[in-house]
Amino acid sequence: MEIEGPLGAKAHDIAIIYPALALSPNLTVAEYIYLGREPKRGSRVDRAAMTAGCRGLLANLGATFGPTALVADLSIAEQQMVEVARALNANSRILVMDEPTTTLAARETERLLALIRRPKAEGLAIIYISHRMTEVYELAERVSVLRDGGYVGTLTHDEAKPESIVRMMVGRDLSNFYKKEHRGGNTGSVVLEVARRAPAVGIIVVAVDTAAKGADATVTTNNVQAGAIAWQYLVEKMGGKGDMVIVNGPQVCSVTERVKGRKAVLAKSPGIRILFSDQEAKGSRDGGLAVMQSLLTRFPKIDGVFAINDPTGIGVELTATQQHRTSFPITAVDDAPDAEAQL
């Protein structure tokens, strides 16, 4: 089957939500959902029927706004919900979502993923296009990889392991590129057990860069200062001006403090602009790779990257190399052995 253009897709009950939303801001939610398919009462548009038809649909999707809300007053996440409602109202059998979370913060992304599960459970087929691997693992029953404009292959959910997908995305095996030391057991529970037993035999317990309940003392890295040093290096490499992105991580203290380190540095560098900072890469190489692919897709010009830790920075560099966009500096904070080996 060949489909030519949006009208051809519509004729085959296919709806598409593009990365750059283009809803009509002057319309109400009901007017937009029924746009082009307005119910009539005689020669007039039946607005009461439109409102009634939307009310139950929006409620099923968990919307907190009603059919008479103005599209212009909705957030990006709410506008995406309207697009999903429009597809369901048109009895679409296939919904294509192209990078729907690119402009969303973490909480909005969680809400959108929860929203997607509802029509999926009702039988709507969803083609979800994304560079964010965590979303792919969470939603997909099958994963297809495209690289350099060509089809690479398809994996089932059980086959879609991170190393398999990354190999297909990058085009080579990376198992020897990034080695991890695997230690048996749960190190967190071991630390807690040691801290509990040590005082009974007169041993003093000092926790370094980790939380250990019962420790006699805790020593932590000055992550604000570490972040500031990394930021200063990055700003100098950028010549004090340009567009920067932050590849963020789990919002724990060490991560948020590293980002805080930018304040004093950027206060002295008015020529630096932060393009985006909300994408969370899970502190991992695979996460850094996926998030950076999304950022490179969205921003044609990036002059510098701050990665929250070294594994994330390695993933960022892999993506930049793959996309042939290696002109910008990348900094990270960690001093991980993997980064030392890469350097």
Average pLDDT along the chain, 343 residues, taken 10 residues at a time: 79 83 88 91 91 88 89 85 86 86 72 79 84 81 88 90 80 55 50 69 70 67 81 91 88 74 83 83 82 85 90 88 88 72 65
What length does the chain have?
343
Q: Model pTM? A: 0.50
pLDDT of 177: 47
Cα 39 to Cα 51, 68, 137, 184, distances in angstroms: 11, 16, 40, 64
Collapse the DSSP code of 331 into the 3-class scheme (helix H, G, I; strand E, B; otherwise coil) and give the result. Answer: strand
Q: How many CA atoms lie within 13 A of 226 on its CB side?
A: 17
pLDDT of 46: 92
Residue 219: CB partners within 8 Å, gap ≥ 6?
A: 206, 207, 208, 209
Q: Exposure of 50 by Cβ count < 10 A (0-12 exposed, 13-18 middle, 19+ buried)?
A: buried
Q: What angle do CA 329, 327, 332 make, to 5 degrees?
A: 20
pLDDT of 335: 65
Structural contact between residues 38 and 48, judged by C-beta atoms closer than 8 angstroms: no
Q: Which domains does the chain have, with CATH numbers?
A: 5-129 (3.40.50.300), 187-219 (no CATH), 223-342 (3.40.50.2300)
Find, among 64, 66, 125, 44, the residue nearest to 91 by Cα: 125
Report d(CA 113, CA 135) in Å as an integer.
Answer: 8
Find, among 320, 238, 310, the residue nearest to 274 by Cα: 238
Q: Which amino acid is at 339?
A: A
3-state SS of 209-230 is CCCCCCCCEEECCCHHHHHHHH
pLDDT of 243: 93
Report d(CA 297, CA 292) in Å as an integer.
Answer: 8
pLDDT of 144: 93
Q: Helix 285-298 vs helix 162-170: angle between axes, to the nearest 10 degrees? A: 40
Q: What angle do CA 223, 210, 105 make, to 5 degrees?
A: 60
